[in-house]
Amino acid sequence: MTKLSVNINKIATLRNARGGNMPNLLNVALDCERFGAQGITVHPRPDERHIRYADVYELHNKIATEFNIEGNPIDNFMKLVLDVKPAQATLVPDAPDAITSNAGWDTKKNKSFLQDTIAELKEAGIRTSIFVDANPEMVFHAKETGADRVELYTESYADYYPKNKQMAIKAFVQAAETAQEVGLGLNAGHDLSLENLKFFAQNIPGLLEVSIGHALISEALYFGLENTIMMYKRLLP
């Protein structure tokens, strides 16, 4: 079964646009769980332009499903994660000024750094996942970092899906097969949507979890949050 983790960054963006606490981030997270989400994802950035570090501390004692914290493992992020001890930490090499994640790790070049970082997280009992492009070589070297999983960065799949879905999925199938061969768990995320998720999930072997935020929250404006979450879950095997 592939789990659905809802990324609530966009809820925080909407709240921050006016100040105050509307919409209430905690209430939305709890509603997502109540509506069937099997995890909650947050991605705090150094400038706290959406998720704030204080949000993470507030959420972690309230989330009943899997809590996944994504981000670049700079010192402040590592302190946050080690304090909170979520079920999963997903390491993403995003620059401080990045609008959104736009590349996976070069796990060969950064292997030593990732090994040290992951060892610290695993000592605290935190499952680790590395954000990677759909490149079998990067998946292979991710195994040598000590990570438990990789998360495939799916923007290129989403971009190419309307043009040729068979070509769009090809590299991701190869990366997923490599993950199975080396014994890594497999997650995926970025620009997955109601339009393209079903084909992806049907064709990717061993897919454990998808993390979806921007599209899901946007589609919820039309369909309602509860209905949208249920629509996503029906697309997953």
DSSP annotation of 236: -
Find the catalytic residue in 33, 66, 70, 151. 70
What is the CA 12 to chain-centroid distance, rounded?
16
Compute how many other C-beta atoms are within 10 angstroms of the C-beta atom of residue 125: 8
Find the catalytic residue in 50, 141, 190, 209. 190
φ, ψ (nearest 5 deg) of residue 122: -70, -30
DSSP codes joined into one string, 43-108: ---TT-SSS-HHHHHHHHTT--SEEEEEE---HHHHHHHHHH--SEEEE----TT-SS------TT
Between CA 61 and CA 39 the distance in angstroms is 14
Sequence-ordered list of residues with C-beta below 8 angstroms from that of 70, at least 6 positions apart, any chain? 7, 41, 42, 43, 89, 90, 91, 92, 101, 131, 211
Question: Residue 139 has which token pair?
Answer: 């998946």
Whether cis (ω within 30° of 0) applies to the bond prior to 23 is yes
70 in active site: yes
DSSP annotation of 204: S
Reported residue count of the chain is 237
120 in active site: no
Q: Which uninterrupted H or E stretch holds 181?
A: helix 165-182
Find the catalytic residue in 43, 50, 60, 141. 43
43 in active site: yes
Which residue numbers are catalytic?
Answer: 43, 70, 190
